[in-house]
Amino acid sequence: MEQKETLLRLRKAKGLSQGELAEELGITRQTVSRWEVGLALPSAENLIGLSRVYGIPAEKILGSEAATEAREGRTGGKRFWSVAVLGVGGICALLLLWGICSRHMLEAVMLALSACNISIIALVIYGLVKVIESPDES
């Protein structure tokens, strides 16, 4: 369920109009309307207010995948692999440069290809682990 749908459902379940909720939070009715049509998201301050009004944790109000990932500590995985792939690319470039400068081109190419193979194997293993951890629920 999208954030806008969650915000609308929670307000209606509580039996509040947009105006009543806005008054409770000290904001305009139009702000609540923008949240519920998906044009904006509540600020951190308003999210705390919504959490208080509805009596549920803020992450359940937004219901976002980002909140789930943060709670489960999965936010750094994509960044780690991006940096790892860039790092391997840099190592390959340095190896090739070393090969050109030292006239050991064959060794440099072999080392660069080995580094690329290791990174590809690591990415494949990582992908298999992610598939095993969270199978498609279709």
- Tens of pLDDT, residues 45-92: 898 899 899 988 887 887 654 444 444 444 455 666 667 767 777 777
Which CATH number does the domain 3-71 belong to among 3.40.50.300, 1.10.260.40, 1.20.120.1200, 3.40.50.720? 1.10.260.40
pLDDT of residue 67: 47
Q: How confident is the model at residue 27 (pLDDT cuts 50, 70, 90)?
A: very high
Residue 33 has pLDDT above 90, yes or no: yes
d(CA 97, CA 108): 8
Residue 75: its pLDDT value, please?
Answer: 45
73: left (phi over 0), alpha (psi -120 to 50) or beta: left
| C-alpha to C-alpha distance for 38 and 60, rounded to whole angstroms | 17
Q: In the Cβ-directed half-sphere of 106, how many Cα atoms lie within 13 Å?
A: 0
């050109």: which residue's tokens?
100
The whole-number average pLDDT for the span 11-31 is: 94
Q: What 3-state class would DSSP assign to 34? A: helix
Domain boundary assignment for the chain: 3-71, 76-133
Q: Assign 25 a pLDDT band (cuts: 50, 70, 90).
A: very high
Calpha distance 48→33 (Å, rounded): 18
pLDDT tens for each residue of 88-138: 777 777 777 777 788 777 887 888 788 777 777 777 777 666 656 555 544
